[in-house]
């Protein structure tokens, strides 16, 4: 990761809102160029009159203001041609996209083939970084077993990680408790992958609802993450601070502290 990234640039603001108007208000409130994450809740919210996806409309709106976009759709298994086509189309708007490692090597290669096809057709356009979801922040060993996976949490995690590497991918969405492990594995493989950690909270703040593996912004960056996702953890009801902006400012300061813990930006 380039060392020109400022602490602010390392914050990904999650537009996790039921009401698209609330999400738009956040986009309008923050500095143009802010890095936003848009997930399935908004992407699948379709305006009943126009038939337009509220999430993709917001993505277009934010992109026009110079923002980077993390489209967090985590699309899973389908036929190879469908996956290639979906990846191709996401290239038109996304800077980062997410895929599930558990869908398998062939699926992950199909995603890359779709992106390569877009690049061939649009040689002057950038293409998104593919982030691999190994295990969700809401998942536990018990919940993984209920899905049919066997072994310990760490064994299942390692198996999914190997699938990503075999498919030629080395950028990850990582739960807080696995950041250092992934960074160490990547270092041993000689790979300088991007790690984004979701579910962050402020030091002394409340953990995000529904997430088992959560951590602080400072801890995530110090452990080896390049970016940390700021969602409900910086809202007043969970941060304990007066406003969303106050929470975001505090998150930026924690990222700064995390970089200082590393002796400066080493990535």
* pLDDT for res 2: 45
Classify residue 177: in a domain, yes or no: yes
Residue 22 lies in a domain: yes
Q: Residue 117 domain-assigned? A: yes
Q: How far apart are CA 82 and CA 158, in angstroms?
A: 28
Number of domains composing the chain: 1
| pTM attached to this predicted model | 0.91
Q: Three-class SS of residue 136?
A: coil
For residue 133, being part of any structural domain is answered with yes
Is residue 150 domain-resident?
yes
From residue 145, give the alpha-carbon distance in Å to each of 129, 151, 157, 252: 30, 8, 12, 37
Tell me which residue range forms the domain holding 43.
11-189
Q: What is the CATH number of the domain that holds 166?
A: 3.20.20.70
Nearest Cα to Cα of residue 211 among 131, 139, 135: 139
205 lies in some domain: no
Would 221 be classed as within a structural domain? no
Give me the tens of pLDDT residue by residue for the chain, a chain 267 residues long.
445 789 999 999 999 899 999 999 999 988 888 999 999 999 999 999 999 999 999 999 999 999 999 999 987 788 999 999 999 999 999 999 999 999 999 999 999 999 999 999 999 999 999 999 998 888 889 999 999 999 999 999 999 999 999 999 999 999 888 999 999 999 999 998 999 999 888 887 776 655 655 789 999 999 999 999 988 888 878 788 888 888 899 999 999 999 999 886 555
Inside any domain, residue 232? no
How buried is residue 1: exposed, middle or buried, by Cβ count under 10 Å (0-12/13-18/19+)?
Answer: middle
Both tokens assigned to 60: 């277009």
Tokens encoding 142: 């018990």
Rg (CA), the chain: 18
């Amino acid at each position: 990761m380039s060392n020109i990234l400022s602490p602010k640039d390392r914050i990904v603001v999650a537009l996790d809102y039921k009401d698209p108007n609330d999400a738009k208000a956040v986009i309008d409130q923050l500095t143009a160029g802010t890095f936003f994450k848009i997930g399935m809740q908004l992407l699948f919210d379709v305006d009943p009159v126009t038939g337009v996806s509220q999430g993709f409309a917001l993505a277009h709106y934010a992109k026009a203001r110079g923002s980077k976009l993390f489209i967090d759709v985590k699309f899973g298994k389908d036929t190879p041609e469908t996956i290639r086509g979906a990846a191709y189309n996401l290239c038109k708007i996304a800077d980062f996209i997410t895929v599930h490692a558990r869908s398998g090597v062939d699926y992950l290669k199909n995603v890359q083939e779709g992106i390569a096809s877009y690049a061939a057709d649009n040689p002057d356009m950038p293409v998104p970084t593919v982030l691999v979801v190994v295990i969700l922040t809401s998942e536990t060993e018990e919940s993984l077993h209920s899905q049919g996976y066997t072994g310990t949490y760490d064994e299942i995690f390692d198996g999914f990680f190997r699938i990503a590497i075999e498919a030629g991918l080395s950028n990850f969405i990582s739960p807080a408790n696995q950041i250092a492990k992934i960074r160490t594995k990547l270092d041993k493989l000689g790979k300088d992958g991007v790690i984004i950690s979701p579910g962050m909270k402020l030091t002394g703040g409340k953990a995000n609802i529904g997430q088992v593996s959560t951590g602080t912004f400072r801890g995530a960056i110090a452990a080896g993450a390049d970016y940390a996702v700021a969602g409900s953890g910086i809202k007043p009801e969970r941060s304990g601070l007066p406003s969303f902006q106050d929470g975001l400012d505090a998150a930026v300061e924690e990222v700064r502290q995390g970089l200082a813990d590393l002796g400066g930006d080493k990535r």
